[in-house]
Amino acid sequence: RFEAGGYDDAFRYANKAAELGDAGAHFQLSYLYHEGTGVEKDAKKEVYHLEQAAIGGHPTARYNLGANEKNNGRMDRAVKHWIIAAKLGCDASLDAVKVCFRGGLVTKEDFAAALRAHQAAVEATKSPQREAAEEARKE
């Protein structure tokens, strides 16, 4: 429904799922509030839903929180979010941690730990079924 422009329905269903604790729904709501799609733009609600999604284990929400912290001049907090997201398998966060390592904001030990955990998270998601589905999607 979201892709078809049914924003009222998408918002209602995402809200219901978020009330039930669905991290993906919280992430979708953060996007709607960020873009002002079907709702009025609201930065506070956007961040609230990003935080809830991140608490629920959503790696991209955690990455976005890090970006938000960076934009607000709080690099120490941004780095913490990105390390957590990298350990959950978020490629963009691993890239951000790498940049921070090169800039001296992350220790070698923390970078190595994030890299090992990222690799483990990515490996944990691999399966013959997922690889077949990915190949089918490409065709």
pLDDT-derived band of residue 139, with 50, 70 and 90 as boundaries? confident
pLDDT digit string, tens, across residues 69-88: 999 999 999 999 999 999 99
pLDDT digit string, tens, across residues 1-54: 455 566 788 889 999 999 999 999 999 999 999 999 889 999 999 999 999 999
Please give the model's pTM, rounded to 2 decimal places. Answer: 0.84
CB 71 within 8 A of CB 56: no
Q: Who contacts 118 (Cβ-Cβ below 8 Å, separation ≥6)?
A: 86, 87, 89, 90, 91, 94
pLDDT digit string, tens, across residues 89-99: 999 999 999 99
Q: What share of the chain is helix, strand, coil (3-state, %, to 5)?
A: 75, 0, 25
pLDDT digit string, tens, across residues 103-136: 999 999 999 999 999 999 999 988 888 888 888 9
CA dist list (Å): 72 to 23, 68, 69:
24, 6, 5
Of 17, 11, 81, 70, which is closest to residue 42 (Cα–Cα)? 11
